[in-house]
Amino acid sequence: MKKVKIILVTLLITFSFSIKSNSKTVPTSFADLAERLMPSVVNISTTTTVITNTNPFPGFKFPPGSPFEDMFKEFGTPQKRQSSALGSGFIIDEKGIVITNNHVIQDAEDIVVRVDGDKEYKATIIGQDPLSDIAVLKIESKEKFTPVKFGNSDKARIGDWVIAIGNPFGLGGTVTSGIISARNRSIGLSRYEDYIQTDASINSGNSGGPLFNMNGDVIGINTAILGQSGSIGIGFSIPSNSAEKVIDQLIEFGETKRGWLGVRIQVVTKEIADVEKLDKPRGALVASVAKKSPSDKAGIKSGDIILEFNGTKINEMKELPMIVAQTKVGKTVDVKIWRNKKEITKKIKLGRLETSEDFNEKKKKTETKKLENLEIKSLKITVRLLNKKDIEERKLPNQTTGLVITKIDENSPVNYLKIGDIIVEAQKKKIKSKNDLEKIVEAALKSSQKTILIVIYNNQNQKRYIGVKLD
């Protein structure tokens, strides 16, 4: 009986110690941490002049000498009004270097930074980057300020405690807490997305503010929320490791200098991986290559799958743009690609994105003209032949041939395509007629694979590779 009591006591002590040990990871209060960090977080207010025309008949002019000419003259005079916006930021240098979101200060004429609750200072823009939504400001003062430092966002784990400090709805000095809910989120805001998701309350006015770990290091810049009505426990922050690289360039050059390959890429689906005999869906599929781009000069072709860039494996398509952008302009790197069911390596000297034609390219949508419709029963779609007018209007390569989709049945194996999409290739063969496509489909249906690889131009005139499952 004594032995049983001893065992029970031992278990209770062990259990009690375990609880105490684990409880150390759960903060009893954020007060000390918040008090230490508050002087480094700033409230930002901006002013912009907006010009509006009050004329109820814009573009209309009365004849000279008309009795209505003077009456409506005042209405035609452009009116100026002041528009203001609020946001947050944080100090990273005692000289008054402030980090915020670009959308907080975009087009601002006057920027006022409020430090430690009530001290107001004018601020100027050192550099801004719309692509990453990051801006760097300088407080116009010779005072010394209290900075915070960046932490390693790669070490942040799902479930870690975080706090956000900012200026939601103009209520400066607001502290909220939560955990990291997810990593590597893409929400469709930009081409460079690797957001930290948090349930710490973030609202309008929190933009540009810091997301801190429990050491008081900045691991994210609060940027966006899900929904328009306010916080619902899903907010997004730019990881500090990504932000720092942009910030360093903005401070040094006043602008960014991103690496550029000159390719448009898409996801490697299971169907595409199967057709290409790739072990699993991975890498980034090259949909098109810009003329005279670094990739074009290196011999990269549409249909190649980029597996590795400068020694870093590409597991998902979205990883490649970020890695390329963070690589020094002019650097020659090894790029491993998958072509003709084997791996080969190309050396590519990176260009600069900001000076490339690709960076400023504008897409134009065109209407599809109705011509002779042809039914392809095996795919349950209706198409017409691509013509010269299509090529001119959509600015396609002169030698392009293909079929324009005019109708798609609900149960079609390509029901995810859209009317106006152009099928230009199938199984790496050019499509010049309805029969060309039908023969390829019929051959695939008779085979064991029953999957084909087609190439289309979508409605935005982007070249896309698609794996089509026929059974």
pLDDT band at residue 61 under the 50/70/90 scheme: low
Residue 373 has pLDDT above 50, yes or no: yes
In angstroms, the CA 135 to CA 174 distance is 22
Q: 80 versus 85: which is more confidently predicted?
A: 85
The mean pLDDT of 45-71, rounded to a whole number, is 60
Q: Which residue has 């991103």 as its token pair?
A: 258
Residue 55 has pLDDT above 60, yes or no: no
| CA dist list (Å): 428 to 303, 381, 421, 453 | 9, 20, 18, 7
What the block records as the tokens of 374 is: 């042809």
Residue 432 has pLDDT above 70, yes or no: yes
**Which one, of 344, 334, 238, 332, lies nearest residue 301 by Cα?**
344
Query: What pLDDT does 353 receive?
Result: 92
The mean pLDDT of 271-297, rounded to a whole number, is 95
**3-17, 90-104, 349-363, 410-424 — which is least confidently predicted?**
3-17
Backbone angles phi, psi at 268, to 5 degrees: -90, 105
Per-range mean pLDDT, top range of 16-25, 113-122, 132-141: 132-141
Query: What pLDDT does 446 receive?
Result: 86
Query: What pLDDT does 51 receive?
Result: 56
203-216: pLDDT as tens digits = 889 999 999 999 99
In angstroms, the CA 315 to CA 464 distance is 19
Residue 354 has pLDDT above 80, yes or no: yes
Query: What pLDDT does 356 receive?
Result: 87
The mean pLDDT of 442-467, rounded to a whole number, is 89
| CA dist list (Å): 470 to 48, 269, 353, 434 | 56, 15, 39, 17
The mean pLDDT of 378-384, rounded to a whole number, is 92
The mean pLDDT of 11-39, rounded to a whole number, is 67
Encoded amino acid at 422, one letter: I
In angstroms, the CA 316 to CA 328 distance is 22
pLDDT over 70 percentage in the chain: 83
What the block records as the tokens of 202 is: 């973030």
Q: Kind and range of the H or E element at 93?
A: strand 78-93
Query: What pLDDT does 117 receive?
Result: 78
Q: Which residues lie below 8 Å from residue 64, measured CB to CB, with a gap of 6+?
A: none
Q: 138 versus 21: which is more confidently predicted?
A: 138
In angstroms, the CA 313 to CA 356 distance is 26
Neighbours of 312 (CB within 10 A): 12
Q: DSSP assignment, residue 271? A: H
**Rounded mean pLDDT of the chain?**
85
Residue 295 has pLDDT above 90, yes or no: yes
What the block records as the tokens of 148 is: 């915070």
pLDDT band at residue 53 under the 50/70/90 scheme: low
Residue 9 has pLDDT above 70, yes or no: no
The mean pLDDT of 258-276, rounded to a whole number, is 94
pLDDT band at residue 33 under the 50/70/90 scheme: very high
374-469 and 261-360 share a CATH fold: yes
Q: DSSP assignment, residue 328? A: P
Q: Kind and range of the H or E element at 68?
A: helix 67-73
Dihedral (Cα; 426, 429, 433, 439), 10-degree rounding: -70
Residue 359 has pLDDT above 90, yes or no: no
The mean pLDDT of 242-257, rounded to a whole number, is 95
298-302: long-range pairs with CB below 8 Å, 24+? 298/335, 298/346, 298/347, 298/348, 298/349, 299/346, 300/261, 300/263, 300/335, 300/337, 300/346, 300/348, 301/339, 302/455, 302/463, 302/465
pLDDT band at residue 362 under the 50/70/90 scheme: very low
What the block records as the tokens of 159 is: 């479930």
Query: What pLDDT does 40 receive?
Result: 96
Q: 18 versus 42: which is more confidently predicted?
A: 42
Helix-, strand-, coil-residue percentages of the chain, each rounded to 5: 25, 35, 40
**122-131, 209-218, 235-244, 372-381 — which is least confidently predicted?**
372-381
Name the CATH topology of 261-360: Pdz3 Domain (2.30.42)
For 41-139, which CATH class?
A: mainly beta
Residue 14 has pLDDT above 80, yes or no: no
In angstroms, what is the C-alpha Rg of the chain? 29
Residue 453 has pLDDT above 60, yes or no: yes
Q: Which CATH superfamily is domain 153-253 in?
A: Trypsin-like serine proteases (2.40.10.10)
What the block records as the tokens of 305 is: 């799958």
DSSP-assigned states of every residue in 341-407: TEEEEEEEE-EEGGGSTGGG------PPPP---EEETTTTEEEEE--HHHHHHTT--TT---EEEEE
Query: What pLDDT does 221 receive?
Result: 97
In angstroms, the CA 276 to CA 283 distance is 12
Query: What pLDDT does 334 receive?
Result: 96
For strands 342-349 and 332-339, give the pairing.
antiparallel
**78-92, 308-322, 365-379, 435-449 — which is least confidently predicted?**
365-379
The mean pLDDT of 440-462, rounded to a whole number, is 89
Domain extent listing, the chain: 41-139, 153-253, 261-360, 374-469
**Where do runs of H (alpha helix) occur along 190-280?**
240-253, 270-275
> Is domain 374-469 in CATH 3.40.50.1100, yes or no?
no
Whether the CB-CB separation of 61 and 73 falls below 8 Å is answered with no
In angstroms, the CA 223 to CA 69 distance is 50
Query: What pLDDT does 160 receive?
Result: 96
The mean pLDDT of 446-460, rounded to a whole number, is 88
**62-66, 302-306, 374-378, 440-444 — which is least confidently predicted?**
62-66
Catalytic residues: 103, 133, 207
What the block records as the tokens of 437 is: 């496509």
Residue 366 has pLDDT above 60, yes or no: no
